[in-house]
Structure 1
Amino acid sequence: MRIVLIDNDATVRENLNILINIYAPDLKIVGEASGVQEGLACIRANKPDLVLLDVEMNDGTGFDLLAMYGTLDFKLIFVTGHNEYAIKAFKYSAIDYLLKPVDPDELSKAIAKAQQAFDAQDQNLRVANLVQNQQSSCANQKIVLKDAETVYLVDVTDIIRCESETNYTKFYLIDGRMIMVSRTLKEFDQLLKGQSFFRAHQSHLINLHQFDRYEKKEGGMIYMKDGSTLPVAVRKKDALMSALADF
């Protein structure tokens, strides 16, 4: 596998060189660059299989580079400093990323994943969503969901509720679809914070925009606009009332 490293910091590139040589010696680093324009030229000249791409650089961002390049024909891993908003954007789009300073184990996992079969259409959809979300308001965010066979691009506002199914999460959408994703509800609870979602129960995460009413009978039940019902955990009742009052 041929790799190009694009990072504003020469020290980061040097460390990546060392780590790749130690933990993935069968990979070949064919080029390096420190900015958007230089990186664009480096990719076009070297035709890599994998690009490790910095987010913030002196002459622009990694997103600028991707927009200039067009349809991607290489695998992509972002390398970024700790930025909660950026990380959430990567997770919304199911894009691989590494935090600086890069952890050897995380690098090994990311490279191992990159060495698997490449679906260019799948990745381009994810990257397009990442770029679009960067340019959109919080109210217009989209999330990439993937089941065993299909990749879906879903408006966050179209999600009615999420339900835990052991290590899977079921997404119920306003058009009647149900999508089951092999990630835990805890992950999506953390990811959708700030988007009017409320964890009403260990097994249920609801979109307050789709909330209809709360009835105290039978220990407390939530009724959603699609007619579905779900319980409220006893310890969550006060928090639900507070969330509704602030909504």
Structure 2
Amino acid sequence: MNYLKAVLIENDKKTIQFFNEIIENYSAIVTVVSVNSTLKEALNLIVQERPDCIIMNCNKQNYEAIEQLKKMQIVIPKFIFMSGEPSDACVAFKYNAIDFLLKPLELNLLIIAFYRVMRYREMELAYQNSKVIQVNTTEEENKMEDVIAISSSDKINLVKIIDIIFLKAEGAYTIIQLKDGTKIFSSKNLGEYKQTLPQKSFFRIHHSYVINVKELYKIIKKDGTYCEFINGIVLPVAKRRQDEFFKFMRL
């Protein structure tokens, strides 16, 4: 557990002395990086030091400085407010105080407030780490979605989906035609691949063919409907699939 970096906003000598004793005896928990009379005076230092918490009195000056602090491009430290008036607690918690301590300060309650800041910091770090893991996992899943595993009798080929021009049914097997002219024979049937491949890019134009529409060069509408690809291959579109195909292509 790393110690807390705190900024103390205080001008009362007794309170400052109280914190100096805490620093000496509880250095494993907290260190005070600066003592200032007002929060406004400490703003530049806060930007530089990035403390975990700010300990300050409940007063108008500090409230106004909090509004300035919120406009700065930093992670806002946690606030621990102090006051001799219990009624100030309501205002303190409006400013998202982690804790409110009555003066004269009690050591045990102050230590509890520090541990509360630590707990919030740990929770926030855990949340951020979980988001990073989630993003990384999503990226990995997206990468995997770009590749399809094509199994044959003796091996499994990992093929980039964008490299597929079309798939052809060959009995219970499937032939996958790639851009570079390679043909891969698979032991899976065409229907299984149709379910696996991205629905927005692949369309079954015929009982025997599933095509990658992104590889289409032109659609021929003469004596039937045909799909011609960049490599010159021409495939027929079944009559019963023509209307659905035109809708798919937004024609």
TM-score normalized by the length of structure 2: 0.43
Structure of larger gyration radius: 2
Structure with more relative contact order (C-alpha pairs < 8 Å, separation 6 or more): 1
